[in-house]
Structure formats: C-alpha cells, structure tokens
Amino acid sequence: MTYLIDGHNLIPHIPGLKLSDLDDETVLIKILQEFSHKTRRPVEVYFDRAAPGHAGSRQIGRVKTIFIHTQSTADQAIIKRLHTIGKEASNFTVVTSDARIQAEAKACHAKVISAKEFANTLSDLLQHHASKDNKKENVALGQNEIQEWLDIFKSRKRQD
C-alpha cells in the first residue's frame, strides 16, 4: 500500500509544525521517512508552490517528494497520479482533507484518510516505536545474569 500525501494539507495537523515554519516541508519529510521505515510502506508526498528551480521529484529512501511548480497545484498532481495508475489505485491510500481530492480518490477506488486522522496515526505509531525502543534499552538484568557476566569478565582477565 503506497501513501499519496497532500503535504501542505497534512502539516497543520502535525503537533509543533506550522505552514509558516521555514523548514516545515523538511521536518514533514523526516517524519514520513521514519513512518515509511517503520511500516515498510512507500510514500509519495506532494507540495505545491515549489521555490524557483526546485520543482520536480526526489526519492529519499521509500519517500518520494514531489514539488509542484507554481503553474499547477499538489491537488492537480495527486489527481493526475490517481488517473495515471488507473485500476492500481485500489492499492493506494490518499491522505488529504481536501474534499475534491477525496472524491476523486474514492472514484478511482483508492482508500482515503483525512490529514487529521493520518497525523494521529503518525503520532501513535512513532510514540509506540519510541517507547518500544526505550523499553529495549532499559532491560534490567537479573542477579544470575549479572553474576554470569562478572564470571565471563573475570575469566577473560585471567587469560590476558
């Protein structure tokens, strides 16, 4: 399942991130890279109003970023992508709160998730993995395990 994401539509729903931030797109891309890594799902994120000379796409791991030139919009690019993939659209999830894109996605049989709902999913997933990683780091050893390690280290000292 590939995610097609309306980037500027999602940013306001990410806690601590605003469209007025200078690095809002970069921060979102990093979050999506982590999401993609954890879920093993490819992501295509679309941003409109690309800076002059920066329109185009770039692949960063499983995340493809598409910056749309000023003569078009991310909405139009997402809709075009849906029509291009045709019947395969049922293997895609579109992330947007834009009613027009949602309607087009549903007409193409793609799954639709609102930006707010996806932001909540991102938050839950990344917090779950962070707490899971912390639990792995803080595993306490039992007294028997500590003694075994001490014995191993003592025996190695004697060999040196």
pLDDT of residue 104: 96
If one counts every other C-beta atom within 10 angstroms of the C-beta of residue 13, the result is 18
pLDDT of residue 102: 97
Edge-to-edge strand list for the sheet holding 56-60: 56-60, 63-67, 43-47, 2-6, 92-95, 111-113
Inter-residue contact 43 to 35 (CB < 8 Å): yes
Q: For the domain bounded by 2-159, which CATH number is listed? A: 3.40.50
If one counts every other C-beta atom within 10 angstroms of the C-beta of residue 135, the result is 9
pLDDT in tens, 76-88: 999 999 999 999 9
* Total residues belonging to the chain: 160
Give the residue ranges of the chain where pLDDT is below 70. Answer: 128-141, 151-153, 155-160
- Sequence-separated (6 or more) residues with CB below 8 Å from residue 84: none
pLDDT of residue 43: 97
DSSP-derived letter for residue 48 is S
pLDDT in tens, 22-56: 899 999 999 999 999 999 999 999 999 887 788 89
pLDDT of residue 29: 95
**DSSP-assigned beta bridge partners for residue 20:** none
